[in-house]
Amino acid sequence: MPAGRHTVRVMVVEDDDDLRLAVTTDLAGAGLRVDQAVDIATADAALAAGDYACVVFDRMLPEGDSVHYVHRRREQGWAVPVLFLTARDSLADRVAGFEHGGDDYLVKPFAIAELTSRVLALCRRAGAGRPSVLRHADLVVDCARREVRRAGVLLTLTAKEFAVLEYLIARPEQAVGRDELIEHCWDSSTDPMSNVVDVVVRRLRGKLREPELIHTLRGRGYRLAGPRPGT
């Protein structure tokens, strides 16, 4: 995988020794630098000290469900892409993973090659070439710093909210369908009939505040446009 001048660094947080070794070995074989952790405390210390392109979290760790840790970090502005591993395969569990800040979700048992492919995709998405700063009306999205400001006020977004907003602001005034957002901001296993896109857009609108910039186009999706007249 192209990594510029440095090796792309990822972390695997998994307390099953055999699975962690298998995942780490395959990711390293794909050219990634892989750090390992068996619990949230170890992962948290490493994440505070290092620069990671992606983190793979097993959901059930010794301290409990890792979605709560990720959710808390997202609320603090942490934007590193996260892939959750879990034996929980219901739609409600998958939606919960995304709502708590996950970017991808893989159900056990899974093929190691598929996990590696998904991690590489998240790393590419995080580091793809793009203009460093995108602007629309009084909204400023700094892609390099992963910061969003509205009328000069710094906003705290989850990684998924940032991904959706970044995709929309790169296509101002264009209709963007839900399927298109799922394709570019989620993974191929996401059910296009689920409401994960609507959930993220609703949260994003709340954080962007009035006047509204993300408009719903009935039957077509969404569009980032200027405030409607009179607002």
pLDDT (tens, 9 = 90+) of the chain, 231 residues, equals 333 334 578 999 999 999 999 999 999 888 888 999 999 999 998 888 777 889 999 999 988 999 999 998 888 778 889 999 988 777 777 888 888 888 888 988 889 999 999 998 888 776 544 456 888 989 998 876 788 999 999 999 988 898 899 889 888 888 888 888 887 777 555 555 668 889 999 999 999 998 999 999 988 899 998 765 554
CA atoms within 13 A on the CB side of 136: 23
* Backbone CA torsion sign across 215, 218, 222, 225: negative
Is residue 182 a contact partner of residue 207, using CB atoms and an 8 Å limit?
no
**What 8-state DSSP symbol labels residue 210?**
S
Instruction: Enumerate residues 6+ apart whose C-beta is below 8 A from 38.
Output: 13, 14, 15, 20, 61, 62
Domains of the chain as residue ranges with CATH: 9-127 (3.40.50.2300), 133-224 (1.10.10.10)
